[in-house]
Amino acid sequence: MEKYALAPWDKAVKFFTWSTIFIFIFLYILLWPGTDIWTHAIFIITFLLFGTIYIFGPRSYIVDENGILINRLVGSITIPYKEILNVEKVEQMENLIRLLGNGGFFSYYGTFMNENNVKVKVYATNSRQMVKITTKKMIYYLSPRDPEAFVREIKKNVNK
């Protein structure tokens, strides 16, 4: 079993995450004096939403005897080797349109559509350091810290 760390956040993830958190905290501090219970409730609900977005993002990738595990705090995902048709390092994700998921707050994850109107799944933190995994049913984009080693390990297991 090999555990692969995520690639560092790219500029977009850093910008969206830190600017959103900063604005959220700034507004809360600015509005604190004289606010009513409903304003506090809205900020608490927003904070809980941030937490929900965080827990569904990828934490690491584990390559073991069964396949690739996309490790998340809630709802980890497995890509079995028998489903994998191709795995390759790519310099950048294709141009994708988000259908359902997160587009850069803590990470990228969810279902996206590519230029050919094909649904793809993304579980990544860096859009320029990607591994594309094509399976019988889906295309996945992942962003391990060491994409070359990740691809080698998967190919070694797929070709058994």
> What average pLDDT does the chain have?
91
CA distance 91 to 27: 38
The predicted model scores a pTM of: 0.88
Per-residue confidence (pLDDT) for residue 154, from 0 to 100 = 93
Least confident of 15-19, 43-47, 145-149: 43-47
Q: Is the pLDDT of residue 143 over 90?
A: yes
Strand partners, 5: 60
- In this prediction, what percent of the chain has a pLDDT beyond 70? 99
CA 79 to chain centre: 15
